[in-house]
Amino acid sequence: MPKQTIRDLELKGKKVLIRVDFNVPLKDGVITDENRIVEALPTIQYILEKGGRAIVFSHLGRVKDESDKAKNSLSVVAKRLEEHLNQPVVFIPETRGKALEDAINKLNDGEVLMFENTRFEDLDGKKESKNDPELGRYWASLGDVFVNDAFGTAHRDAASNVGIASNIEHTVAGFLLEKEIKFIGGTLESPERPFVAILGGAKVSDKIEVIKNLLNISDYVLIGGGMIFTFYKAMGLEIGKSLLEADKVDLAKELLELGKGKIILGDDVITGKAFDADTEKNVRSIEDIPSDELGMDIGPRSIQLFEKYIQSAKTVVWNGPLGVFEFPRFAEGTRSIAQAIADIKDKATTIIGGGDSAAAVIQFGLKDGFSHISTGGGASLEYLEGKILPGIECVDDK
């Protein structure tokens, strides 16, 4: 069912609650990747242009005790948002109370307020994460309408998405959430073919349901990353010291049988003596991995094989790096596949499924080379599994 979007609301003079995903990485108090802030700007700017009073909020990091609060304050994000919007952002270092309520009531049309990290409420019984009914009602009372634009938390049933939506008259999708629904949800429902899915990452266990779902709807599933070695083990191959989920070998056998003709595995890998950026680099056939080496990347023949499938595709969805791309000498597989996907952007729909895959393509300078880069890691995975996401389900239907 199509969802209502921000375009369906009259915003002038309204107090507009906006749940964004500003869970950005910080190092020594400095934002190291502001992609999630940038992606939310169109929604916030639209609200301001239409005369709405923007009340922005997000979670940031994990907040388990009082010591986590100082390093996970959204104050630094509010300052960066202010710079992007080129206008003041009122920051209230509270998640509830009179100071917050008074500041909201003083807002004029076209002004912005941000309040503190929603996860601060988790210090008292995980009220945010467990969707405490009272907290959802309280946050809903602060606004007239609710715009959910946080795909990164769409797989969570939290007070700051489902809780608010349950207690307010109108809940709509912002432009970012709308885009995620269109590209991921729409592609899974009716992909243009050939549809090629590429899965990487460390563990088969993280991708079991994704593999099963994609085997049903895609034409080919290309598999790389650390999890490939569990599949090689299932094929009776020796994998040396490579990453192995021994308890998932039988499952890998089942998946190989289920995906016969659809699951594509490369036939060579890059190995090293140790999991280290400076370890030696060797190209090995998958039948000849030495007992004292471990796989670190897909090999050149595997890259060529994957490129062949990508070049013929009309739809590509990629989730999970194909090697240890954080180490430059073991980044070639991930980089080459990213480039191959970017090369077909003009003739295919190409989607990067968030998380490490998104980090990789940004690191390689290829951010603009794809139809869509998802802002959600866990949310993207669950969407690719075919699950109903609470943060999308709670948005009003058209």
Q: Which residues are catalytic?
A: 36, 203, 355, 378
Q: Which residues pair with 26 in a beta bridge?
A: 31
* The dihedral sign for the CA sequence 213, 355, 248, 255: positive
The residue with tokens 């943060």 is: 391
Neighbours of 75 (CB within 10 A): 13
CA–CA dist 37, 84 (Å, integer)? 9
Query: CA nearest 370: which of 336, 397, 346?
Result: 346
∠282-288-293 over CA atoms, to 5°?
A: 50
Ramachandran quadrant class, 240 (left: phi over 0; alpha: psi -120 to 50; beta: rest): left
**What value does the CA radius of gyration of the chain take, rounded to a whole number of Å?**
23
**In sequence order, which ranges of the chain are alpha helices (DSSP H)?**
35-49, 67-71, 75-85, 98-105, 133-141, 164-165, 175-180, 186-189, 208-217, 228-234, 249-258, 300-311, 332-343, 355-363, 378-384, 390-393
**Tokens standing for residue 227:** 């999890």
Backbone angles phi, psi at 197, to 5 degrees: -105, 140
Q: For the chain, give the number of residues.
A: 398
Q: Are 176 and 43 in contact (CB under 8 A)?
A: yes
Query: CA nearest 301: which of 271, 325, 268, 275?
Result: 268
